[in-house]
Amino acid sequence: MEKKIPLSTPTIHGEELQFVQEAFDRNWVAPLGFNCDGFETETQQYLNRDGRWPVHALALCSGTAAIHLAVKLAGVKPGDPVLCSDLTFAATVNPVTYEGGVPVFVDSEPDTWNMDPEALELAFQRHPGARVVVMAHLFGTPGKMDELLAVCQKHGAVLIEDAAEAFAADYRGRPCGTFGEYGILSFNGNKIITTSGGGMLLCRDRGDRDKALFWATQAREKEIWYEHREIGYNYRMSNVVAGIGRGQLLHLEEHRGRKEAIYRRYQAGLTELPVTMNPWLPDTRPNFWLSCLTMDPDWGLDPMEVVRKLGAENVEARPIWKPMHLQPIFRDRDFVKVRERSVGEDIFSRGICLPSDIKMTPQEQDRVIELLKKIIRREA
């Protein structure tokens, strides 16, 4: 059988080991430390590279932990409705439930596959008490941030911006992760850069960042003994893991460029098929984390059949995220849409994620393209 072509795996360069080795040399392998400080500072500098988008970063053990702390900072209390992206991974919305919030799912729009500003407005009308919005940039494609921010501001709502999939993506020149009161990055193994596992919370206010750090270190008070007046968490990033992130950050733009080249190659190679690549707005710069396609609705081909047939050829593909309102755990939650058929349901029913590993050679990608042609034309 041919060599496996994976969906998306880490790409390590060498500088990572230098930062990790320093942590070992200095015997500083626990949470906190110089690599954590450096990773936070260097991420802030990247996001604020033109001096207009300052943020205060906090390195954490996962993107999910970052969302949880953002939900706490936003003041979500038991029973509060929280308006959430519907077409996303569960980690975007699960932390809402940790604080007793009640997710309300907002449908996508077809231009970016992200939260629909019209549906968000309707969600506020149906849930006038909502004061927090959690939106995700899907597959590295920026959402319609001007419109979404306008709706949030109209209703006095805090925006938590899940940019876990969108590090290095820009909307009209502004980096994703800097629009919300709180932003989220993820460095999971399949992301555009990785720390093996980890995440980052981005705050506009330094005091919020410091409060999140307090919670993330078990909410220990500043006493010589162990004093606790609030519930805390063990959410800090390891100094070793942060060293990997510092080395990866040096290659962020390189990784983004390779991801875009993969997308463009698919786009050119699949033009003859009844498929459409995942869309994006012309005044944005996606990071092209995953290249995806949707099949013509009249073609009648089950995307799971395509995934299975690619798998039989040692090519890893995945379904599009299953919308949250279709998940059994959330079946009793409200779902808000403005079109007769849910955009998210439609994308899920026709779409797949294609191999987008930046170590994939042009020859390997050509093999994927040729397999897709045979499968979708029902020749295989």
Residue 19: how many CB atoms within 10 A of its CB?
23
The torsion angles phi and psi of 56, rounded to 5 degrees, stand at -115, 120
Q: What are phi and psi of 116, to 5 degrees?
A: -85, 120
Q: What is the pLDDT along the chain (380 residues), one digit of tens a residue?
A: 789 999 999 999 999 999 999 999 999 888 889 999 999 999 999 999 889 999 999 999 999 999 999 999 999 999 999 999 999 999 999 999 999 999 999 999 999 999 999 999 999 999 999 999 999 999 999 999 999 999 999 999 999 999 999 999 999 999 999 999 999 999 999 999 999 999 999 999 999 999 999 999 999 999 999 999 999 999 999 999 999 999 999 999 999 999 999 999 999 999 999 999 999 999 999 999 999 999 999 988 999 999 999 999 999 999 999 999 999 999 999 999 999 999 999 999 999 999 999 999 999 999 999 999 999 998 86
Does residue 336 sit in helix, strand or coil?
Answer: strand
CB neighbours of residue 249 within 10 Å:
22
User: Mapping DSSP to helix (H, G, I), strand (E, B) and coil, where does residue 220 land?
Assistant: strand
Contact residues for 243 (Cβ-Cβ < 8 A; gap 6+):
16, 19, 20, 22, 23, 35, 39
What is the residue whose two structure tokens read 């970016």?
112
| Number of other CB atoms surrounding residue 100 within 10 Å | 12
Q: Which two tokens stand for residue 160?
A: 């938590």
The CATH code of the domain at 15-249 is: 3.40.640.10
Taking the C-alpha atoms of residue 263 and residue 238, their distance in angstroms, rounded to an integer, is: 34
pLDDT of the residue at 380: 67
Pick from 51, 284, 40, 15: which is nearest to 168 by CA?
A: 284
Strand 199-203 versus strand 182-186 pairing type: antiparallel
Check: CB of residue 281 under 8 Å from CB of residue 337.
Answer: no
CATH class of 252-376: alpha beta
Q: How far apart are CA 233 and CA 122, in angstroms?
A: 35
Q: What residues does 85 pair with on adjacent strands?
A: 106
> What does the block give as tokens for 270?
């699949």
CB atoms within 10 A of CB 38: 18
Closest CA to 19 of 39, 44, 48: 39
pTM: 0.97
Give the whole-angstrom CA distance, residue 71 versus residue 182. 9
In the β-sheet with 318-319, what is the strand arrangement from edge to edge?
A: 275-277, 292-295, 351-353, 318-319
Angle at 273 between CA 271 and CA 277, to 5 degrees: 60
In DSSP terms, 103 is beta-bridged to 82
> How many alpha carbons fall within 13 Å on the CB side of residue 118?
8
Q: In this structure, are residues 289 and 9 in contact, taking their beta carbons and an 8 Å threshold?
A: no
CA atoms within 13 A on the CB side of 45: 9
Domains in the chain: boundaries: 15-249, 252-376
What is the Cα–Cα distance from 199 to 202, expressed in whole angstroms?
A: 10
Radius of gyration (Cα) for the chain, nearest Å? 21
Tell me if 182 sits within 8 A of 161, measured CB to CB: yes
